Structure 1
Amino acid sequence: MIIATVVFLLLLALAVTSTRVLKEYEQGVVFRLGRLREPLGPGARMLLPGVDKLIRVDQRIVTLTIPPQEVITRDNVPARVNAVVMFRVVDPVKSVMSVENHAVATSQIAQTTLRSVVGRADLDTLLAHRADLNEDLAKSIALMTEPWGVKVEVVEIKDVEIPEAMQRAMAREAEAERERRAKVINARGELQASAELRDAAKTLSESPASLQLRYLQTLLELGADHNSTVVFPLPMDIIGPFLDGFRGRTAPGVSGASPVTNTAEGTPDEH
């Protein structure tokens, strides 16, 4: 009876030590005496103690942060760039057989590719067209990690740090660009306004009555401000004959120019 109990306990201990439980997101790569076996799915799995070796492979998405990298862009601007890489294992056997540590290898490849891709782009592309660089990074990293059974899901450049002197230069450039646009818009507005004024003058010249109404409207606007000075515009067709007569009387060779001037000055007094 005692022997049976001991044997039962030994078998129970052996069953406990031989049982491995794999979670739903894990797969197991098993080596029996150094030889590769078929991968094991999730659930309870029996292994031979001392004979089988189990390596658990997590198939969830792993977030890998690339530390800041010192790079020089194509237009010779120094910058510090960091990024984030999201990947997951799609082939557990390759991730174990093809590379020693797929996470470390992916991190090193991501750092090298980041420096290479950013070095081929200029600063404007790095700041304004980051999506294109992210796509290029993802393709380059995925091409290297595919033989390891690792699939790159997302590659995003997180932050770009440039020297302070370059930031001030970019700020001055942006301010100059805004001033240039403001001057261009102002010039275009003046051009359009002059064209509209020309059309309005043509329209008013075709109708003397409308021009007279415009004069009256101007007087109404001046009177609404309660000004002490009143400006009364006179049409050229009214004062034209008076000006012609004045020029004729003051023409060269005509005597008595001074009396004419005095007469002209006295005219307002008579009125």
Structure 2
Amino acid sequence: MLPFNMIALIVLVVFVLFLIISHAVAVIPQNQVGMVSTLGKYSKKIEPGLHIILPYITRVDRVDLAQVPLKLNEQSVISKDNAEVIISLSLNYHVTDPYKFTFENADSVQSMIQQSRAHLRGIIGTMDLNEVLNGTERINAELSKELDSITDSYGVNVDRINIDTIQPTPEIQESMNKQINATREREAAIAKAEGEARSIELTNKANNDALIATAEANAQAVKVAADAETYRITKENEILSQTSDQYLAAQSIDAFRKLAGSETNTVVVPTSVTDSLGSIKTLSAVVESKKAKN
């Protein structure tokens, strides 16, 4: 049986070998790369797989190349018209340059977050509150454009950036609600006034149309009556023009006979009428008739 000291030495040697071997092997998972530093200085990049390295004098920093989702904390920003809004932002990024990501920046992700917040404040500061609330797509596009020109120095690329929520502060929201209610009341009053004005307009139009129709009807009636009278006179004139002198004389005699039979004591006969009678006998007959009656 081995002495205790020998057993302890063997255990120590095994432990040391285990430590050496464990630090001499580097396993790089898929979608990652290893950035190897020797005595603090970058030496090489290793791909996914099993690699043997010098223990204790080399270090391997694993860099994930897969796309990473990142949700930023809510941020308070001020619009151009001094309205405060709370904005939540999320983005997706992936590492494009492992060397810059590992060695040229102490914390590339945190730097990207700070730049995103700073540019968001700058963009919102050029927009009114209404533009901010209705301009999510514009904000996303401008923010993505700004980050593309900066994040390359961090060794990362922002694949997508999105405004999740834009919420005015309670004070601003209350003010907006009051303004919305006032606008609705004003629009309702305008609609009511326009409706009443339209009703009055239609009523006046109906009354005017009725008056015009009545006037046109009366004018048409007068025209019809005038046409009838004109027709009557025309027809009478036509009949008279076709009547013989003898018929007129007979009518005159009859008229004088009726006149002689009345209570009138004196009968005045114009010369023109006596001439048209064409006979003294006619006048004598009238006079005799008058005497006989007396």
Structure 2 length normalisation: TM-score? 0.57
- For residues 162 and 18 of structure 2, the distance between their equivalents in structure 1, rounded to whole angstroms, comes to 51
Deviation at 1:31, TM superposition (A): 0.6
Secondary structure of the residue aligned to 1:75 is coil
Residue 70, structure 1, aligned to residue 76, structure 2: yes
- Looking at structure 2, the residues matched to 141 and 133 of structure 1 have their Cα atoms a distance apart, in angstroms, of 12
Q: Quote the Cα distance in structure 2 between the aligned partners of 1:37 and 1:79.
A: 48
Equivalent residue for 1:111? 117
What is the match of residue 217 of structure 2? 237
- Kindly provide the amino acid, as one letter, of the partner of residue 146 in structure 1: D
Unaligned runs of 5+ in 2: 1-5, 226-294
Matching of residue 83 in structure 1 with residue 53 in structure 2: no
Deviations 1:111-135 (A, max 9, x none): 2222222122211111101111111
Partner Cα separation in structure 2 for residue 82 and residue 126 of structure 1: 13
The answer to whether the 8 A contact 1:72-1:78 is kept is yes
Question: 2:63 is aligned with what amino acid?
Answer: V
User: For residues 170 and 240 of structure 1, do their structure 2 counterparts lie closer, same or farther at Cα, with a shift above 3 Å needed?
Assistant: farther
Question: Does structure 1 residue 100 correspond to structure 2 residue 106?
Answer: yes
TM (normalized to structure 1)?
A: 0.61
Partner residue of 2:138? Answer: 132
Kindly provide the amino acid, as one letter, of the partner of residue 217 in structure 2.
Answer: D
Q: Is the 8 A contact 2:77 2:121 kept in 1?
A: yes
Structure 1 residue 34: Cα displacement: 2.5
Pair 1:44–1:77, CA change in 2 (3 A):
same
List per-residue Cα deviations over 1:166-223 (Å, max 9, x = no partner).
3244335445656649849x77xx69x97xx99xx8xxx9xxxxxxxxxxxxxxxxxx
Pairing 1:42–2:48 present: yes
Q: Counterpart amino acid of 1:105?
A: S
Match of 1:155 among 158, 161, 184: 161
State the Cα distance separating 1:83 from its structure 2 match.
1.0
Question: Structure 2: how far apart are the matches of 1:75 and 1:16?
Answer: 61
1:55 to 55, 61, 70: 61
SS at 1:67 equivalent: coil
Could you say what secondary structure the match of 1:60 adopts?
coil
Structure 1 runs (4+) deviating above 6 angstroms are 8-13
Larger Rg: 2
Q: Structure 1: any 5+ residue segments left out of the alignment?
A: 206-233, 246-271
Alpha-carbon separation, structure 2, partners of 1:33 and 1:169: 63
Q: Percent of aligned positions with the same letter in both sequences? A: 22
Equivalent-residue separation in structure 2 for 1:174 and 1:239 (angstroms): 57
Within 2, Cα distance between the matches of 1:112 and 1:80?
14
Counterparts of 1:168-183 in structure 2, within 5 Å, are 168-174=174-180, 180=187, 183=191
Whether contact under 8 Å (2:84, 2:172) holds in the other structure is no
Q: Deviations over 1:212-245 (max 9, x none)?
A: xxxxxxxxxxxxxxxxxxxxxx996389759xx9
Q: Cα RMSD between the aligned structures?
A: 3.9
Measure the CA separation in 1 of the matches of 2:18 and 2:81: 70
Aligned residues: 201
Q: How does 1:140-151 map to 2 (within 5 A)?
A: 140-151=146-157
CA distance in 2, matches of 1:235, 1:148: 90
SS in 2 for 1:37: strand
